[in-house]
Amino acid sequence: DGASSLDLSTLTRQTGFTGLDYGFVNTASTRSAITYIDGGQGILRYRGYPIEELAEHSTFLEVAWLLIYGELPTADQLGEFDEKIRRHTLLHEDLKRFFSALPHTAHPMAVLSSAVAALSTYYEDSSDPHDPDHVELTTVRLLAKLPVIAAYAHKKSIGQAFLYPDNSLDFVSNFLRLNFGNMAEPYVVDPTLAKALDRLLILHEDHEQNASTSTVRLVGSTGANLYSSISAGIQALSGPLHGGANEAVLQMLAKIRDSGEGVGRFVERVKRKEDGVKLMGFGHRVYKNYDPRAKIVKQSADAVLEALGVNDPLLDIAKELEQFALEDEYFKERRLYPNVDFYTGVIYKAMGFPTRMFTVLFAIGRLPGWIAHWREMNLDPQTKIGRPQQLYTGEPERHYPR
């Protein structure tokens, strides 16, 4: 479309040309109208709206609507959407028993992905997964049920009973209660905590063709249903180079604290690439400037910890580490800056979530983006099954010895 892009599929058809592009650094797999990123300038917009404005003024569900339907909802549309999501929070009782078949040591991301795959066994029978009404219902079901599944994965890991959702509560408050409430006493939602979590979820809602979204699109391009595609996206998100980085950051900060090694020496080891050690939460394929989401998270980290009455030395280590890295030639040359995962873990920890739940929170945040991309792909007449090429490097033809 622009002077800097080339339709490679036409070129391939006409000339047989195959480009080699490890990690898809160059190749666009689709056109998309959902999210705009300028990595050099550190700009992120959902449907044209700057992330800073949405984080300041909007809510998770409003942004979900924006991503999925393309415009901000009217008050009536948002109210109806919210209401529908509240009505679909219950899980089938049999699905609740599914959790007891899994070990309590299971990683919550594995539980989340398995349970979402299992959801399709309840809802994808004879209906066409691409029928518009069915897609609407699946959208609502996923948004309503993923937080409940996530909270049950948490409860299972700590051996506590699952609570039924309380649909008088808003999306985030309901989720907090399901995680931190118990059968014995009423749970009072802390509005500071709810607001802070809602904002973090907004920051994660979409990020164009990242690894998990591309996975959702690739799986969906085969005609697979939305549950299967999202389940695969959750697995892709779990890796430490992607969403799993928020968990890895906290482990790294705790290691620096416990080893007494000091931030300076740790950074030296990173620069020497000793044992492949990386500064987790730093660097990004697209951002060669400060990740705008990280800027917002960093700004709110102090405020949230103070409001929650938490004083965490890991936040001080994180800040010292960032300062060290930003002044160092190694990081400057490679244009490595904190990404969204660098400070989120410290906040999630202050909220009371165990480290293994951090990437699950990311998945809840990213769900609207995944859904929006799956739907956009299925409405695009140019969509084809995703099928990368390869350059074969193996043996030439040879014959089986007789």
Question: Which residues are annotated as catalytic?
Answer: 284, 341
Contact 88, 140 (CB under 8 A): yes
Tell me if residue 317 falls in helix, strand or coil: helix
Length of the chain, in residues: 402
The residue (of 31 and 334) whose beta carbon lies closer to ligand ACO is: 334
Phi first, then psi: give them for residue 26, nearest 5 degrees.
-110, -35
Question: Minimum distance from CB of 213 to ligand ACO (Å)?
Answer: 10
Question: Minimum distance from CB of 52 to ligand ACO (Å)?
Answer: 18
Interface residues with ligand ACO (CB under 6 A) are 23, 210, 241-243, 245, 270, 278-285, 334, 336, 339-341
The residue (of 280 and 377) whose beta carbon lies closer to ligand ACO is: 280
| Sequence-separated (6 or more) residues with CB below 8 Å from residue 345 | 246, 247, 249, 250, 253, 281, 355, 358
Q: Which amino acid is at 101?
A: A
Cβ-proximal residue to ligand ACO, closest one = 283
- For 29, 104, 106, 248, the CA distances from 158, given in Å and listed in that order, are 41, 8, 11, 21
**Helix, strand and coil percent figures for the chain, each rounded to 5:** 60, 5, 40
CB atoms closer than 10 angstroms to residue 98:
18
Phi/psi region, residue 174 (left: phi>0; alpha: psi -120 to 50; beta: rest), is: alpha
- Rounded Cα gap, residues 344 and 362, in angstroms: 10
Beta-strand ranges (E) seen in 76-179 are none
- For 32, 44, 280, 336, the CA distances from 208, given in Å and listed in that order, are 8, 10, 21, 20
- Rounded Cα gap, residues 293 and 70, in angstroms: 21
Question: Minimum distance from CB of 237 to ligand ACO (Å)?
Answer: 8
The residue (of 23 and 186) whose beta carbon lies closer to ligand ACO is: 23
Structure token pair of residue 34: 């959902």
Question: Minimum distance from CB of 339 to ligand ACO (Å)?
Answer: 4
The residue (of 150 and 169) whose beta carbon lies closer to ligand ACO is: 150
Closest CA relative to residue 252, chosen from 309, 325, 163: 325
Question: Minimum distance from CB of 356 to ligand ACO (Å)?
Answer: 17
Question: Minimum distance from CB of 177 to ligand ACO (Å)?
Answer: 27
Beta-strand ranges (E) seen in 120-165 are none
Cα 277 vs. chain centroid, distance in angstroms?
Answer: 23
Question: Minimum distance from CB of 246 to ligand ACO (Å)?
Answer: 8
Contact 61, 81 (CB under 8 A): yes
